[in-house]
A and B are shown apart, each in its own frame.
Chain A
Amino acid sequence: MSQQSLNAPGGEEPEQTGPETTTGGQTFASAQGAGDILDEIDEVLESNAETFVRSFVQKGGE
């Protein structure tokens, strides 16, 4: 197989070239990212959590 370099944390700061991270200079700041997301959760969380949870019924698989 081809050996491609791993773009993973732990080594040098990974270069993020994807379109999702174009806001100049903003790299991984986990605390900040997670902080911002709390507002988003309030926005996107299915409006009635209890009804949503009750409606999530699956059959067993495998």
Chain B
Amino acid sequence: MSAGRGITTARAMGIETEFGVLHADLADRAATTAGSAIALSHLVVGAYALLDPAEGERGRRVRWDYGDESPLRDARGFEIQRAAAHPTQLTDETHDAHLPSVDLDQPLLGPETPPEGDDATVLAWATRRSIGNAVLRNGARWYVDHAHPEYSAPEVMRAREAVVVDRAGELIAQRAMAILEAAEGVPAVALYKNNTDGKGASYGTHENYLVDRDVPFEDLVAALLPFFASRPVLVGAGRVGLGTRGQEPGFQLSSRADFLEAEVGLETTLNRPLVNTRDEPHADARRFRRLHVIVGDANLLEESTFLKLGTTSLLLGALEVAHRRGEGLLGDLALVDPVAAARTLSHDPSLRATVPLRDGRALTAVQIQREVLAAIRPLADTDDEETARVLDSWAELLDLLEDDPMRAADRVEWVAKLHLLQRYRDRHGLGWDDPRLQAIDLQFSDLRPGHGLFGKLRASGAVPALVEAGEVEAAVTTPPASTRAHLRGRLIAAHGPAVPAAGWDTITLAGPTTGHRLRLADPTLGSAAWCAAHGVDPAAELDTLVEALGRAVDQDGPAPDTSRPAPGVQEDTP
């Protein structure tokens, strides 16, 4: 960051989405057994990864590389390592730190050779081998997590990019469903981009942000608690029913508030915290902390995703600046009981509810958000287009919401959903306990074209798009240019068979006679700009490519530890 410019939304970040998964056929659902959600998830993952021609040779995929357990220690942040193993051994499981670590799906005896045959045959083979992981050409990880198909979108540096790759995940889900629908002998599947079945189960949409390691975690927690407790007013997806099982009729702003039980903690499946402490940076751990955010809702409305990432990134940037200056950021903005406050605020679509602060004040969600915004704005670089857009939309929406929430029906997801539900209630005279309203809530997030109600809202023009449809379509098979996802995705597209495995910070290349493992300990290494500046063409012949990558290591040299920029202000420029 050049002095005096201020913070921007730029930061390494990403979204992971677990989809709700069901038999499309209602009769099949009745016969659902404990394992069937897992089996359906494998079909979904296998269908797109192994059978969609967009991902290359039928039956082949790039495996997920879980990487080393220990933090990366290379100060340069970039390393290319000659693998000691013969490439034919690269598919064998090993834990030797000097060898490529490969897929942990299951121990493998040799290369995967998909069978000849129809889609059902390939999928049956994939299920037998528990193939539940793939790295896609757009740089995403596409896998089975617990009993859900999950799309971990490729890392990006901007909120708008996050919207594009998040929407691309919806298209990938749709392609998987279409393949299963068309295949003989396999069940059709319906996928939902939501976070709860309304019966006590919740599954996550997580955000990840890299944050300057120097900022004390307590500082992050102190600021994030009031921010997260009130954030659903701006970016909540809305939910019919109160309580984890929807035991009380009604509507609330957040689909996650009732599942959050602690302020801070490591858990994500039990006793879920507002601030999660999982910290695998998938990057140089001395410089970066990973903030793993589990409070958020799965968003369908593009502006909601945009603001969710944009506002959170700006808050983190402001905290980094405040720490460097030795100042506080949010003053006395501390809630007496953040967990209770999150629920109180979520349960009040009128937005009049207040929650107590430790200094004796009582504030609404909009007022808390205004305080955060007011603290950030003076620190921001408003010449930066995206930063200005986030700040302006944030302020504009808070005004609309405070005046009359319904004025934001085309721009705030929970309001869009509530608006629809209210009109439907009025038309049919329904109470909040009517199952049709729960059905609308669920079907709102159905990703099947023709079924999903949000899709219909979008098609009708009732909610404006923020990104072009063509961009989203392109992002299904093209990685974002701003991060290492570029190199990962481009290498897979150009050299798929020579890439046995890839992870967030590793890529293995298996040449004809030798193997190499790349480590990319900074998410901006391997970006399109970085590749261009270092003469790395991911589509070049493998030998040429490895040479160019080797030269790039020498050029980069050891990272200057003292003058390193903070992650939030790092621009992806050569």
Instruction: Give A contacts to B, CB under 8 Å.
Output: 1-10, 14, 16-21, 26-30, 32-38, 40-41, 44-46, 49-53, 55-62
Contacts and interface: CB of A to CB of B under 8 A. Distances in A.
A10 B393 contact: yes
Nearest to B573: A1
B32 interface: yes
Given A20-B459, A55-B29, A56-B198, 18 more contacts: A8-B303, A8-B466, A9-B410, A14-B464, A20-B469, A27-B461, A34-B420, A37-B457, A37-B462, A41-B424, A41-B453, A44-B453, A52-B439, A53-B435, A55-B26, A58-B22, A61-B202, A62-B146
Contacts, number: 179
Interface of B: 10, 18, 20-22, 26, 29-30, 32, 37, 145-148, 150, 157-158, 160-161, 196-199, 201-204, 206, 268-269, 294, 303, 306, 385-386, 389, 392-393, 396, 409-411, 419-420, 423-424, 427, 434-436, 438-440, 442-443, 450-451, 453, 456-470, 481-482, 572
A22 B2 CA distance: 45
A27 B461 CA distance: 7
By DSSP majority rule, is chain B's interface helix, strand, loop, or mixed?
Answer: mixed
A38 B427 contact: yes
A53 B32 contact: no
5 contacts: A1-B10, A1-B572, A27-B461, A45-B439, A59-B146
Contacts of B468: 7, 17-18
A27 to B, nearest CB: 7
Contacts of B420: 34, 37-38, 41
Contacts of A4: 160
Given A2-B481, A16-B465, A56-B22, A50 B435 contact: yes
Contacts of A34: 409, 419-420, 423, 457, 460, 462
A57 B464 CA distance: 32
Interface centre among A1, A19, A28, A52 (most CB of B within 10 A): A1
Nearest to A33: B462
Contacts of A27: 461
